[in-house]
Chains A and B, each alone.
Chain A
Amino acid sequence: MRINTAYTLFGLLSVCLAGAVITSCRGIEPITPSTGNEVTGGSEAGEVKGFFLLNEGNMGSNKATLDYFDYATGVYTRNIFAERNPGVALELGDVGNDLGIYGGRLYAVINCSNLVEVMDVETARHIAEIPLPNCRYITFDGGYAYVSSYAGAVELDPEYRRGYVAKIDTVTMQVVDTCGVGYQPEEMAVVDGRLYVANSGGYMAPDYDLTVSVIDLATFEVCNEIEVAPNLHQVKIGGDGMLYISSRGDYYGHQSSTWVVDPSTDEVVRELQLLQNSDMAVYGDSLYVISHSWSNVSLDYSTGYAVFDTREGITVTRNFVTDGTEEEITTPYCIAVNPSNGDIFLTDAKDHVTPGRIHCYGQDGVRKWSATTGDIPAHIVFTRKQLKSLDEI
């Protein structure tokens, strides 16, 4: 009797297991499709038809993804790259660090994949892949793309290693020249044939770099170095023609802040004190600055959503959100403003390991809509050409 029970039990367990194996046989995995959600009503698209958003994805997880928002339909679509490019091995790559549009092409700088992915802006289909070790940011001028890279050659001490800027011909997609700059260069901006490169020195903490390297694009050589502040990050050109440069600070005495450099004299004009800076965007005479920093003293984050008037030189508000919805934002990460209608886009990176959110605010600071993004939504570029749907390509 008991023996039978034993046999039966074993039999049952084995059958269950056999069942589990049969039902769960692995096939080849399908490509993860995009997911589209109508987040707002469709609207008369102005000059700007929509935007692309690059999600960084955590380092080592190969989870950089691309999203697209379409004004005409009001649809926010997550993860569009994989299904449009099934032949690109391992999808978009590891850590998306910058996004740009130039000459009908969409460029995504994929930092830990050491490449720039070049796509058609109307289809998001792969055109070319430009290998560039430890590439960070991209900007364009006169038919060339300029990409900053941490990976300069090691000279004597491997700890102190300068970065460089690569000059890429946007017709041939080849690197045609390089120019050494400071340590761990980040964002760049072009003013009057000169490229301003913010150097961070992020690999040498706490001995951060303090400088902006200025490259003369005619000779592609460094023509000046401007000492600004430790751990520089972003460079934006304000409505007043000045350069607005963010410093991440050194996490000790120096807080993150925003600096103004006059490109006509290459002099530091002023520091916008009390304007901590995680990300910024320019819209007309307004400079939108968001900040999110952890304090080991108060054991809390301090968060700001400021607007600085570049013409008047004053901070207009430290919180442009007027409907109280900023309370729902955990980790403000990226800001962008639609140049044609002034829509403000704010992303929330949450805990960095689950998908984030994007929120759209009107110029009145009232939230219009929200959508779920990929992991670490970080870089937005507005497009003047509507992305074709999957059936059209």
Chain B
Amino acid sequence: MALALAAMLAGSCFFAASAQDRDSTAISEEKNWASDTTLSIDEVMVVATRTSQEVVPVQMLSGEKLRSLGTHSIADAIRYFSGVQIKDFGGIGGLKSINVRSLGSQHVGVFYDGVELGNAQNGIVDLGRFSLDNMESVSLYNGQKSATLQSAKDYASANAVYLRTKKPRFTDGKRNNWNIGLKGGSFMTVNPSVLWEHKISDRLSLSASTEFLYTTGRYKFTYAKQDGYDTTGVRQNGDVRMTRAEVALFGDIEGGYWRAKVYFYDSERGYPGAVVRGKFVHQDRQWDDNFFAQGSFKKDFAPWYSLQISGKYAYDYLHYLADPRLDVTAMYVDNRYRQQEAYLSAAHRFKPLRWWTLSLATDFQWNSLDADLRDFVYPLRYAGYGAAATAFEFGGLKLSASLLYTYIHDVLRASDAEMDDRHQLSPAVIASWKPFRDIDLELRAFYKKNYRMPTFNDLYYTFTGASWLEPEETVQYDFGATWHLIRSRGRFRGLDIQADVYFNQIDNKIIAMPTSNQFRWTMMNLGYVEILGVDAAAQGYFRFGPVDVSPRVNYTFQRARDLTDPTSEWYGGQVAYIPLHSCSVTLGAAYSSWSFNYSFIYTGERYESSANIPENYAQPWYTHDISLTKSFLFNGWELQATALVNNILNQQYEVVKCYPMPGTNFMIKVNFIL
């Protein structure tokens, strides 16, 4: 079956024909995907710009393509990018964190409408929490985004994911847009949503969106061995109840814009937990409340000067309960964590000459963490970020360099201990060159050194925290090329290819080490890892009569070697959970009001530990998903119906050991668009 599908897929690439991009320009249909030429600074424009205008490697999914790839969350879609591993604990509610180019989840900055989503407690953003419902685009930047007007935090992570929600657009005369959706399917999932966009005036519009999700998170799984046991269970305690609400204002001013947004998320979920012998069911639960308000303002005051200001306040509440009254084997844990964050950024861009840009950005951030843990130190963090960057453009050559200064001052409210201030300098150099005038081939390279500050958990978690920790250091070298081909007639309409070779080093890697027994661990700066990788992606556009076909192929090679301890028997072993090879293929086809999407993900063999021995071997896994959408146009409104089937071969697989993933599952989605 797998073979047949692969053959079909291979075949389709040969005979398929013609297309218009349904991918990178969905935001502005009027704009031909290949026609744009300059990298606009305006955030909104950047999205509309062909992503290849970026000088660093960037991958983007947007519009319908995004929605056809992801059934539930952003994490489902990001799996299709090169160089990415999603750590997925299974089901709708399981944690999904992203690891880019093997640098680790905490080296990925996640930005929501331009402002970073923080988690000072553990530094990890759960991408499973972010709905695709009101999302316009998802982009992944390696190194850093190289817009000339950006906040200092845009420079502050080794890799960054940018999530962009929909900006309202009104066709002539309309003042209101409605999109009412209902999604349901496997795991008893129900997910209604409403999006309302309102045009207040020509220069001001409002968008309000809300959704509710409930799922039991139950699914069957099987563990079997050749000539051995064959056991089936039902994943339990994976239920999720979630409500999200968002209100945003979009204002246009002369030479710029402003935005304001309020976000609220409330959820209760079970922890499905590890499936081990004798224990298939867990009882732990978690409640989350997340709130943030953010705003940004951008204006070109003069042809040579632009200003961008953004700010945010966030409050996050987490309650975790493990109750031995529900399960005698459990240790009683009942903890509440409250985090607050305040953030302000100002960025300036000067353009003294047509080919020369200077940027300066200063950010300030304040974080606090309260927890009802015994002997907790109640940390506060004051962080200052200053970034200076310059960019030159001569003909086909673009050069940019940036330097980020980070200052961290921690205060412990319940301890007399004084923490030393931390200072770090993070440089980056980026270059790209277009050697030929009439061939759209661009060569690029970047170098970046970056630090990840130890999180509050690393430093101050009662018992395990280690306040002496140094920041983790990453160094990245990347060489790559992009090539674009456009045809305005015929079956073949275009091709985007990008490929990068990179070498990364992680030093002072923060890892948990046991002290004297399994009860006591501490964090240490021990690890050293080197990663040699290749990311490659190709996207084709074909038009075959009335049918648009757009295949996309991504491939990742990563040799990530754990070089922590030269005396270890496992020195140089492939890092846990990093496959040597992984790839994805998607194939979109559109005909009149029908559209079809097929997607395939392959993750090669891995080991569950840097000891690459048979006991730790994990088989490759791969899933095939398909979806079919039909839209019906009525008088003034539209009905869209989509059916999706995921993992159609019902493969029983794990991404993380002891966390079984769902087999075949389906989903039906109906949207009324008015």
Contact = CB atoms under 8 A, between A and B. Distances in A.
A30 B516 contact: no
Contacts of A7: 14, 492
B591 interface: no
Given A28-B224, A354-B569, 14 more contacts: A7-B492, A14-B585, A17-B6, A26-B619, A87-B229, A94-B274, A278-B516, A292-B515, A293-B516, A294-B522, A351-B511, A351-B513, A354-B573, A376-B518
A90 interface: yes
Interface stretch (A69-77, A99-107, A153-161): A153-161
A350 B514 CA distance: 9
A160 to B, nearest CB: 9
B482 to A, nearest CB: 14
B611 A355 contact: yes
Interface residues of A, number: 91
Contact of A86 (B13, B228, B273): B228
Rank and list the top 3 A-B pairs by shortest CB-CB distance, nearest first.
A113-B278, A86-B228, A94-B276
Nearest to A276: B516
A18 B6 contact: yes
Contacts of B229: 86-90
A110 B519 CA distance: 16
A14 B602 CA distance: 13
Nearest to B612: A354
Interface stretch (B67-75, B205-213, B323-331, B353-361): B323-331
Contacts of B463: 205, 251
B437 interface: no
A24 B620 contact: yes
Contacts of B583: 17, 20
Contact of B278 (A93, A355, A375): A93
8 contacts: A17-B6, A17-B553, A21-B622, A89-B229, A151-B329, A158-B324, A202-B519, A357-B569
Interface of B: 2-3, 6-7, 9-10, 13-14, 223-229, 231, 273-279, 323-325, 328-329, 331-332, 334, 374-375, 463, 466, 468, 485, 487, 490, 492, 495, 497, 511, 513-520, 522, 538, 540, 551, 553, 555, 567-570, 573, 576, 581, 583, 585, 600, 602, 604-605, 608-611, 613-615, 617, 619-622, 651, 653, 657-658
Given A13-B538, A79-B615, A2 B485 contact: yes
Contact of A114 (B273, B329, B331, B375): B329
A134 B329 contact: yes
A13 B517 contact: no
A291 B517 CA distance: 11
A372 B569 contact: yes
Interface in A113-155: 113-115, 131, 133-134, 150-154
A60 B658 contact: yes
B561 to A, nearest CB: 14
A31 B514 contact: no
A18 B613 CA distance: 28
Identify whether the interface residues of B are mostly helix, strand, loop, or mixed: loop
Given A202-B519, A248-B517, A25 B10 contact: no
B2 A3 contact: no
Contact of B3 (A21, A56, A95, A151): A21
Contact of B225 (A65, A86, A372): A86
B225 A114 contact: no
Contacts of A90: 223, 229, 231, 275-278
A318 interface: no
A44 B28 CA distance: 83
A61 interface: yes
A21 B329 contact: no
A203 B278 contact: no
A353 B329 contact: no
B489 to A, nearest CB: 11
Nearest to A56: B518
Interface in A6-42: 6-7, 9-11, 13-18, 20-22, 24-33, 35
Interface of A: 2-3, 6-7, 9-11, 13-18, 20-22, 24-33, 35, 56, 58-63, 65, 79, 86-95, 110, 112-115, 131, 133-134, 150-154, 158-159, 161, 202-203, 205-206, 248, 251, 256, 278, 291-294, 296, 299, 301, 328, 331, 349-355, 357, 372, 374-376
Given A2-B485, A30-B226, A114-B329, A15 B10 contact: yes
Contacts of B538: 9-10, 13
A87 B620 CA distance: 24
B514 to A, nearest CB: 5
B585 A133 contact: no
Contact of A62 (B553, B614, B620, B658): B658
A294 B223 contact: no
A347 B584 CA distance: 44
Nearest to B581: A20
Nearest to B323: A158
A354 B226 contact: no
Given A18-B6, A292-B516, A376-B518, A110 B569 contact: no
A59 B463 CA distance: 18
B374 A206 contact: yes
B275 to A, nearest CB: 8
Nearest to B584: A17
Contacts of A27: 226
A6 B540 contact: yes
Given A29-B225, A328-B567, A17 B10 contact: yes
A26 B651 contact: yes
B552 to A, nearest CB: 10
A14 B9 contact: yes
B13 A91 contact: no
A59 B518 contact: yes
A331 B520 CA distance: 13
A94 to B, nearest CB: 4
B276 A62 contact: yes
Contacts of B279: 94, 112-114
The listed residue with most A CB atoms (<10 A of its CB), out of B329, B516, B605, is B516
Contacts of A158: 323-325, 332, 334
Contacts of A328: 567
Contacts of B228: 31, 86-87
The listed residue with most B CB atoms (<10 A of its CB), out of A29, A131, A159, is A29
B459 to A, nearest CB: 12
A226 to B, nearest CB: 23
A293 to B, nearest CB: 5
A113 B276 contact: yes
Nearest to A293: B516
Given A18-B6, A206-B374, A31 B516 contact: no
A98 B2 CA distance: 45
Given A94-B279, A331-B514, A133 B651 contact: no
B515 A294 contact: yes
Given A93-B277, A206-B374, A354-B609, A22 B6 contact: yes
A215 B512 CA distance: 39
B383 to A, nearest CB: 25
